[in-house]
Structure formats: structure tokens, C-alpha cells
Structure 1
Amino acid sequence: MANLSELEPGTLPPEAGALRDEVREFLAGASFTPRCDSWLTGADPAFSRALGERGWLGMTLPERYGGHGRSPLERFVVIEELLAAGAPVGAHWIADRQTGPSILANGTEEQKRRFLPAIARGECFFGIGMSEPDSGSDLASVRTRAERADGGWTLRGTKVWTSGAHLAHAILVLARSEPLDAGDRHAGLSQFIVALPDERVAIRPIRGLSGEHHFNEVVFDGTFVPDAMVLGRPGDGWRQVTAELAYERSGPERLLSTFMLIRLLHGRAADTADPAARRTVGRLMARLWALRQASLAVAGALAAGGTPDVPAALVKDLGTRFENEVVDAVREHAGVEPDPGSPDPLARALAQAVVQAPGFTLRGGTNEILRGIVARGLGVR
């Protein structure tokens, strides 16, 4: 585990500038409607395949598995540009961000060859089967059960807030495969790869405040998973999930979901010469830059082979609170009301952000849970 004091300040490799220019050139010629929170609410499988064709998916995976053998810091540059542009990256996001690296670290050779090349091509999307009703961020309390069957396992239980499950080709499910041990709640958990569609898996939409559909409830009703689709060793699920969450919690998406608002407010402040709005933009950008350096430091730790779960939790806590503060600041200074149907891009982006804002500090683990992780890492809890 990397302690906070062990991380070096984030720096990018020399080749980052040329790569950034290449991504910006591609985005300038691409056709999409920019939006806030695009990594969750914007999904376009064709756009994902186009990124795969350019080698911008599976960037850190080895070439022998269809990846490109590049560093997490190079991937950081690509992700940063895609998010800043509000590009529709939601379809492939989970598979590229965390499921691919998790399969690489824990999977069998068969699993690696089956899934990793398809992820890198933008042809295989994954859902995350972690959160459950009444469990919140306490993953150790999951009630989805995995029972031994002939040649595999049978899953029964319900997962919620499963982003993109309706588009996914598979879902990685955390389930209790052994009876709960009161002395160690983290023992007896396993991860299972469930290929979709499956007649024993029901996927039901959970619609947001504005009617949009990206979350789902997923019900496993006696779903059979062969032994070949157990990820890692049975009973080792907690360790695997903890490592996986370092990828989920520390990336630039925890800082840039509302970046479009800052950019649009900057343009509005420049046009109106509003000194208060300009000061606000400057303050927000200074905060964002500091948070970006912290996120880069975690990416550097991942590149060095570390498991920086404590720093990742801190980045996620600070970053998602910042995203909410951006929404509040823009509402104060923009002079427009949120309106999803407005011809004004700032009013539309503000409407998108306002709807999504309640989830910023919840998804990926509530901030209260994350502060507990940080406190334990610092030895004060």
C-alpha cells in the first residue's frame, strides 16, 4: 500500500505533448454533442470502436493481449482530453478503466485471450456488479450468493446502480461464496464473470431525475457461471476488488465531470468582462490543477506497480466535492437557469450537471467511507 507521504508529485512523460495534440486533432474532426459527466451518461459504441482503432483503448495492456503496452500516464493524457471535450466514452469506460487491468492481474490465460483483445478494440463492454440494495458502500455486506454447482457456481442476488449493464457484453460480479465469518467479513468473497445476455439475468433500467437511462438493477436468478469464469481464486474477491477500486477512484473523471462548466463560464466571463466570474474561474482552475497533480501522482504509483488505494480514496473524496462546488459556482455567476432544452450551451450543460451532482460523492464509494479508508491508512483509526 502506498502511503500519502510516499507519492511523488505527478509528472507526465516527454511524449505526452505529441499524444495530446494527436487526441485533440481527432476530437476536432469527430462528430458528437459534448456533455457534462460524459464518462457516465454519454455512450456511443461506434465512438468507442473508433478509439480502439486508434489504439486509445487497452493502452496499458500488453501487446500479446491486443493492448498497446503504454504507461498509465500516457493513458491519463488521452482520458483527460476525452473528458475535457465531453466525448461519449461511457460504453467502454468500465472495461477499459478497471475490468481489463483486473483480468490482466487475476485472470486465467483463457480469460485474458477471450476478453482483453476485445476490450482494446472497443468491442467488449463490462458492467460492475458490486453495489446492492441496502448495502451502500459497504461491499463486505453483499448478499448475492454463489453456491457450488456441477462444473461451476450458481448466482442469486441483486445488484444496483450498475452503469451501462444494458450495453454490456459481460458483468464482473462480487458475491459471497462462503458463509459469512463474523471475525472477518472480508473473507469468503469471490468475483465471477457473467457473459451477457443470459436468460437467468434480468436487467432493469433505473432512470434518473430527467428520465435518462444509464443505471440499472441486475437480478441473478440461478445464473450459472462455469469454473472457467471465476476471476482469480475463490475467496480472494476482497483483495481483488480493493485493487480494482484504486483504478476506479483516482482517475481524472473524478475531477473533470463538470469541467465543461468551467470552460463555458470562462467564455461567458471573457465576453462580459465580469470581474467576479473571472475571479471564480481562476479560483476553480487553481483548485483543479492541484487536484490534477494528485490524480497524476496516483497514476504514477500505478505505473510503478503499486496499489495506492488510500491516495486514490483521498483523490476521489476531494475531487468529487470539487465537482459539486463547480456547479454551485456556475449557478451563482453564469446568469442562466439550468435548461436541458436551451439553445445556450451553458444552460444545457448546467442542467446536465445539476441532475448528476447528487451522485458525485456517492458513486465509487461514498465520501464518508473513503474518509474511513484514509484514516486507517494514516493510522488514526
Structure 2
Amino acid sequence: MHPFRFDPVSLPPQAEVLREEVRAFLAEELASGRITPHRNAWGSFDPEFSRKCGARGYIGMRWPSQYGGHECSALERYVVTEEMLAAGAPVGAHWVADRQSGNNILAHGSEAAKQAILPEIAAGKCFFAIGMSEPNSGSDLAAASTRATRTEGGWLLNGTKVWTSGAHRVHYLIALARTAPRSEDRHAGLTQFIVRMGEDRVLTRPIYNLYGGHDFNEVIFEDTFVPDDMVIGDVGAGWQMVTGELAFERSGPDRFLSTFQLMRQLIDALGASADVRAQVAIGRLVAQLATLRTMSLSVAGMLERGESPNLEAALVKDVGTAFEQEIPEIARLLVAAEPSLNQGEPFHEALAKAILTSPSFTIRGGTREILRGMIAKGLGLR
């Protein structure tokens, strides 16, 4: 049985100094009109803003300087992440590369991959997508059927990935593929590959959402060549890396701050005239937010110590995304408004965006059912 622990973490003084620096940078971006908070989230794709973040040292913060990093702590990186999300900064272009793909390459990639890719990520010039989900397999990553077969100097990939966010505008995709036949151990025989996008044998098809937006994609590999130095880790050891990678994906502030801008707009819309019902609702949301922040910060502390808090991260993600989904529902009850994406009114636009995107929160990064199964197993309940 795995006992859950969320030990309190105190931020070091240099993290608080960094927080003020980041706030000043974001305030300048807001004042100039380059950021419109209620229209942005960590899914917003703005390469120019990413390059600014890279120039300021806000990407690849924990990586060694030899790879373009800045050798900061996980807690310093946490502060930057939190401030970016709280301000509604358009960090989506570099988000996946900075949060997980770069860390994966740093820990398990070849020296050639590290030298070629990590400095570009840290500079805010190289963007990644994650190729895990596949048709007909739901959230069961172990059911992956994309195949990788040996060829001279590398591998040939064949198969299809779906719900691949940003695949149409990134430079690389990390794909999970089967390099050995299925066996009794469902997690064996899987390997991760760094695939350069835009190649002739990589086909990307858009999956449009209900309001016509293009975030998701279907990615098809047809004898796509991947050189040996773009294999991540040992062949057949992909599952262990995927599960470790998900701790970075599931535990951060992005798993409870996706609708934070709507919460801010809701408080502004209610103003000083908020009745007791509204005050109780807002107080409960603020209390939940404070608790989630404490839990998430604790996981950042574990990552700083080199631990693998996979189950704690799963719990943060499950509770956090439920919180994110609750905010638009409460907002609709407290304020009479017609949600609209093009009305120009911050609360209406933030509410519209949240209503349209919030159903995905408990799917992306692992469905609620998968996470609760992991949590139950960790507690010895199954």
C-alpha cells in the first residue's frame, strides 16, 4: 500500500524574488496589450511570447547549462509556471516541451538528441506534442498498436495517433510505439521515439472542436523513419518512462488553473454587491484553490528531491480538474450572462471558453476513471 504524503513546502527566498521579476514582465506585457488574459490559457499558441520567455530564462529552468538550461530548482520553476498561468499568459507553444518532453530527453535521450534539441527548447524556439492516444484504445496506453520495426540506421513507424494537441504546428512529437509483440506483460515491448514533424511520411489531419477551433489532430505514420539517436531510453522500456513523465504532466498548476481567469472575472462581475450565497460559493472556491496549490507545491518538492510521486500527481490531477470544471458551473448560477466568444466582454468570453473546453479537463492527461483506478491500487483497495 502506498501512503499518500503531501508534506508542506516552503519556497526559498530566491523563488520569491523571481516571482516579482516574472510579475513585472507580465505586467508590462499586459499593459502593452500583448496579453489578453481571459482569451488565453496554457493551450494558447504564441511563438513570439515563447521566444521572450526563452530569452528571459523561463524555459528549461532546471536543465544543465550545457544544454541551454539555467540549473534552477523545481520550486523556482513552479513559481514561474504559477505566475504565467495566473496572468493568462499564452505559454502553449513551449508548454509540452518545457513541462515533460525536454525532461524526458534530458533523462533518457541520446547525447545527440540532447545537444540538438534541448538548447532550442530552452530558447523558446522548439515545440513538442505528445503522441500517446490511439483510435479504439481510449485511455489505455498499454493498448498502443503503432508499430516500430528495425531498419538500417533506425526504425520505421506505422500507425495512428489521435487527440494530439498542437501536432500541426510543432517541430517534434514523442511517439509511443510497440517494438515487440504483445505478451502477458501488457506494458512490455513499448518504446518512445522523437519524430520530426513535417516529414513526407508523417500525415497530420485536423480534428475540429465544436466551435471550429483546431487544437487536436490525427497523426498518421507511414514507414516514418526515426534514426537510432532519436530513440528515448532503452528499447522496450517506454512504459516506465511514460509513467514517470506523467508525474510532470499531472501535478502542476495547469491542472487546477485552467479556468482561473473565469474565477477572477466572476469575482469582478459580482463586485461588492455579492449576496451571502455568492460569498459562500466564492469562499469555497478560494479554499479549494489554496488546498490544491499546497498539494501541487508539495509534489514539486518531491520532484526537486528526485522522487517519483506518480500517485500523488494522479490525485492532484483528479481533484484539480474537477475543480476546474466546477468553476463555470458556479459562474452560470451566480451571474446572468450570455456566454459569447466574440462579445468583447471579459466575463462573457471567459465563461464561453470555459464551457466549451472544460469537458476535456478530466480526459486530457489521463481520464478520471484511470486515475481513480491508480489511486485505489495505491491505497490497497484493488
Whether these two folds match at TM > 0.5 is yes
Q: Which among 77, 85, 109 is matched to residue 107 of structure 1?
A: 109
The 5 Å alignment of 1:67-146 reads 67-146=69-148
AA partner of residue 26 (structure 1): F
- Which secondary structure does the structure 2 equivalent of 1:92 belong to? helix
AA partner of residue 237 (structure 1): G
AA partner of residue 254 (structure 2): E
* Alignment match, 2:36: 33
How far apart in 1 are the matches of 2:119 and 2:229?
Answer: 18
* Alignment match, 2:61: 59
Deviations 1:139-189 (A, max 9, x none): 0000100011111111001101111111111110000000000x1000000
* Alignment match, 1:335: 336
8 Å CA contact 2:173–2:194 kept in 1: the answer is yes
Cα 1:278–1:268, aligned 2, differ >3 Å: closer, same or farther?
farther
TM-score, with length taken from structure 2: 0.96
Q: State the shift of 1:37 in Å.
A: 6.4
AA partner of residue 105 (structure 2): I
The 5 Å alignment of 1:1-381 reads 3-30=2-29, 31-35=34-38, 38-40=41-43, 42-181=44-183, 183-381=184-382
Q: State the shift of 1:127 in Å.
A: 0.8
Specify every segment of 5 or more residues in structure 2 that has no aligned partner in the other structure, as ranges: none
Specify every segment of 5 or more residues in structure 1 that has no aligned partner in the other structure, as ranges: none
How far apart in 2 are the matches of 1:37 and 1:160?
Answer: 24
Q: State the shift of 1:205 in Å.
A: 1.1
8 Å CA contact 2:40–2:90 kept in 1: the answer is no
8 Å CA contact 1:144–1:157 kept in 2: the answer is yes
How far apart in 2 are the matches of 1:322 and 1:36?
Answer: 20
How far apart in 1 are the matches of 2:315 and 2:272?
Answer: 36
Deviations 1:50-95 (A, max 9, x none): 0000000001111111101011111111111111111111111100
Deviations 1:13-49 (A, max 9, x none): 2222221111111111111222366112x11000000
AA partner of residue 299 (structure 1): A
Q: State the shift of 1:129 in Å.
A: 0.6
- Which secondary structure does the structure 1 equivalent of 2:92 belong to? coil
- Percent identity, aligned pairs only, is 56
8 Å CA contact 2:167–2:173 kept in 1: the answer is yes
Aligned CA-pair RMSD: 1.3
Deviations 1:172-229 (A, max 9, x none): 0000000000x10000000011112100001111111111111111110110111111
AA partner of residue 28 (structure 2): G
- Which secondary structure does the structure 2 equivalent of 1:87 belong to? coil
- Which secondary structure does the structure 2 equivalent of 1:68 belong to? coil
Deviations 1:216-273 (A, max 9, x none): 1111011011111111110000001010000001100000000011111111222433
How far apart in 1 are the matches of 2:3 and 2:249?
Answer: 18
8 Å CA contact 2:5–2:312 kept in 1: the answer is no
Deviations 1:298-337 (A, max 9, x none): 1111010011111100100000001111111111112212
